């Protein structure tokens, strides 16, 4: 885990064919980053995988002693999770 994140060599947005695909890809990338760079818990206490909202809740600022992410950032990430959920479960 590092404080600076490397930019991907190629943006996935250049190969997206529709808004649905964009939301799915962006949420998958967010899940990956929350787990690998921000220490988000992959499973809950029951051993079940955490969803995107739970990953956002459990993520912490890298290089701190468990400091939670800023509320404004969490609100923006939750919006993506909500849009994704509405699209997928529609």
pLDDT tens-digit readout, 52-63: 999 999 999 999
List pLDDT tens digits, range 42-51: 998 888 989 9
Can you give the pLDDT at residue 2?
A: 46
Can you give the pLDDT at residue 9?
A: 52
54-87 residues labelled b (16+ CB within 10 A) or e (exposed): bbbbbbbeeeeeeeebeeeeeeebeeebeebeee
pTM of the model: 0.78
């Amino acid at each position: 885990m590092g404080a600076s994140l490397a930019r991907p060599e190629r943006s996935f947005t250049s190969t997206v064919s529709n808004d649905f695909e964009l939301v799915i890809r962006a949420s998958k990338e967010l899940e990956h980053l929350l787990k690998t760079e921000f220490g988000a818990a992959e499973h809950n206490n029951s051993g079940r995988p955490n969803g995107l909202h739970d990953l956002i809740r459990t993520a912490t600022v890298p290089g701190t002693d468990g400091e939670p992410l800023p509320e404004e950032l969490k609100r923006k990430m939750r919006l993506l999770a909500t849009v994704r959920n509405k699209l997928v479960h529609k």
